[in-house]
Amino acid sequence: MQYIKYEKRDQVGIITIDRQEALNALNNEMIDELGKVIDTISPEEVRCVIITGAGNKAFVAGADIGSMQYMSKEEAAEWSRCGNAVFRKLERLCVPVIAAINGYAFGGGCELALACDIRIASENAILAQPEVSLGITAGFGGTQRLPKLIGYGQAKELLYTGSRIDAAEAYRIGLVNKIFPLESLLEETFKIAKKIADNAPISVRATKKAIDACMDSSVDEGLETEAVLFGDCFETADQKNAMSAFMEKKKPDPFINR
């Protein structure tokens, strides 16, 4: 991998986008590498994933404008489909994904963060969907995910104006969950990931699946999905161990993902 680094630490996977000379801007090779890394992630080995950018200036400062400038209509549409396929793959990963936004998150970078379950920002983070200032629209899911996350009015303002917002404003409107100093961002994000990883992994995966169901189906369909997943948990060793420990007022054994 030239641009995407992947490591595992205490059942947490850490994906680092590393193209610092271009502020980690996305190009075809990076999108392809990211998709390949996502394909290698196994719930048997990893219970939560963090994605971040290399360096201290940018998470991902958008897509590479130079590589897009002279695209034809057909090439641009295919580029959008390619990016959306990989971001959708990340969004539908069976384990939770946390974006550690360490600086600029513009355009495709903001959209990458939107495809994650949780967004944690550094104090120097700046987020934007500036595509309209370049004569284009958001192409990697911004028009679809941003309204669902922060509401249609707030999303339309950001998408129509292309305005940049700082971490404090992003937190205020619900675009990010927490803010930390840059120097402690990854450590604090890892603490959250580890807290997730320490819970019953089958239960966490089922919870994510149930939440996703409410985004992609009717309330009644989502409730039925929840009921089925709730029932499935009662066939696991982790459920039996945890509930027995609760009734006996003792600490449960570590979860074994079974």
CATH assignment at residue 211: 1.10.12.10
Q: Do 210 and 193 share a structural domain?
A: no
Cβ atoms 157, 166 nearer than 8 A: no
Which of 72-76, 144-148, 227-231 is predicted with the least confidence, judged by mean pLDDT?
A: 227-231
Percent of the chain's residues with pLDDT above 70? 100
> What residue type is assigned to position 182 of the chain?
L
Q: Per residue in 58-80, is it b (16+ CB within 10 Å) or e — as a string?
A: bbbbbbbeeebeeeeeeeeeebb
- What is the DSSP track for 191-225? HHHHHHHTS-HHHHHHHHHHHHHHHHS-HHHHHHH
pLDDT tens-digit map of 146-196: 999 999 999 999 999 999 999 999 999 999 999 999 999 999 999 999 999
Give dist(CA 49, CA 193) in Å, integer.
Answer: 7
* Whether the Cβ atoms of residue 110 and residue 104 lie closer than 8 Å to each other: no
- Helices 73-91 and 28-40 cross at an angle (nearest 10°) of 30
Question: What does the pLDDT look like over 29-48, one tens digit per residue?
Answer: 999 999 999 999 999 999 99
pLDDT-derived band at 231 (thresholds 50, 70, 90) equals: confident
Catalytic option among 44, 75, 111, 169: 111
**Does residue 33 lie in a domain region?**
yes
Exposure class string for 161-183: b at 16+ Cβ within 10 A, else e:
ebeebebeebbebebbeebbeee
Task: State the Cα–Cα distance between residues 45 and 148, nearest whole angstrom.
Answer: 31
Domains in the chain: how many in total?
2
Is 188 in the active site? no
Indicate the pairing of strand 12-17 with strand 48-53. Answer: parallel
The Cα 157–Cα 90 span in angstroms is 26
Q: Which of 194, 191, 226, 224 is nearest to 208 (CA)?
A: 226
Predicted pLDDT of residue 71: 84
For residues 60-78, give the mean pLDDT: 89
Q: Are residues 72 and 162 in the same domain?
A: yes
Shared domain for 38 and 150, answered yes or no, is: yes
Give the CATH number for residue 98.
3.90.226.10
Domain of residue 205 covers: 201-247
* 225 and 118 housed in the same domain: no
Confidence of residue 65 (pLDDT cuts 50, 70, 90): confident
User: Tokens in use for 88?
Assistant: 């959708």
3-state secondary structure of 42: coil
Q: With contact defined as beta carbons under 8 Å apart, do 111 and 145 qualify?
A: yes
Residue 243 is predicted with a pLDDT of 84
In-domain check, residue 78: yes
Judge if 116 and 230 occupy the same domain: no
Share of the chain above pLDDT 90, in %: 76
Q: Is 7 a catalytic residue?
A: no
User: If pLDDT is split at 50, 70 and 90, which confidence band does 107 have?
Assistant: very high
Residue 218, phi then psi, degrees to nearest 5: -75, 165
Catalytic residue among 7, 91, 131, 188: 131
Has residue 256 been placed in a domain? Answer: no
Q: Is residue 254 part of a domain?
A: no
Q: Identify whether residues 207 and 81 lie together within a single domain.
A: no
- Are the C-beta atoms of residues 127 and 175 closer than 8 Å to each other? yes
pTM of the model: 0.91
Does any domain span residue 257? no
What per-residue confidence (pLDDT) applies to 48? 98
Query: Is residue 253 domain-resident?
Result: no
How many Å is the maximal CA-CA distance in the chain? 67
Examine the pLDDT at 135 and tell me if it is beyond 80: yes
Do 209 and 94 sit in the same domain of this protein? no
Contact 58, 30 (CB under 8 A): no
What CA–CA distance (Å, rounded) separates 116 from 90? 7
